[in-house]
Amino acid sequence: MDSQSSESSGVGQGPSSCKTTVLRDQYEVLRDIGHGGFGQIKLARHCLTGAQVAVKVLQKKGQKLQVLSEPDMMRSLEHPNVIQLFQVIETLGNIYLVMQHAGGGQLLDQVPLGGMQEEEAHRLFREVVCAVAYCHDKGMVHRDLKPENIMLDARGLTVPGPQSCGL
């Protein structure tokens, strides 16, 4: 998948239940998995490879410049504890950010009622601090760091969620 593309590249053709034409050729949208102040997050499957991805849908109309620059900032990030941007698809009304799907869910959902074990909390905290330091070294800040925006992969490693790093 081309992370630099701003148009649908035509990679992978196949059936899809997606109602958005520009995504239909490449992805099958499976379901909504989240939403935030700037957009919705959908779980999708890449038609050619079968890989699951998260697709953040940003509406252009009425959005601030900071939101519209998010794809440019995410392109420059490559860290094991930061969600990876695979592709950007841009239409007249929307920007679709196709990103790594962290299948372990939100950190908030993984914290038991009495709190987590100290050793596990230390490990997760180190991973978050490492990712935040990486973003800061690149001149970026997250701006909405909270347990709902810290995602875990299938192995339980942290990856700051689709809010991503931003100015």
C-alpha span between 33 and 53 (Å, rounded): 11
At 166, list the tokens: 């931003």
Structure tokens at 6: 């701003």
Q: Are 26 and 12 in contact (CB under 8 A)?
A: yes
64 annotated binding-site participant: no
CB under 8 Å to 116, separation ≥6 — which residues? 110, 124
Residue whose pair of structure tokens reads 């998995």 in the numeric block:
33
- State how far the Cα of 82 lies from the Cα of 113, in Å rounded to an integer: 27
Q: Is 153 a catalytic residue?
A: no
Catalytic residue among 72, 137, 144, 153: 144
Measured CA distances, 9 to 1, 6, 100 (Å)? 9, 9, 18
Contact between residue 71 and residue 79 where contact means Cβ atoms under 8 Å apart: no
Q: Which residues are catalytic?
A: 144
Q: List the binding residues for ATP.
A: 56
Q: List the binding residues.
A: 56
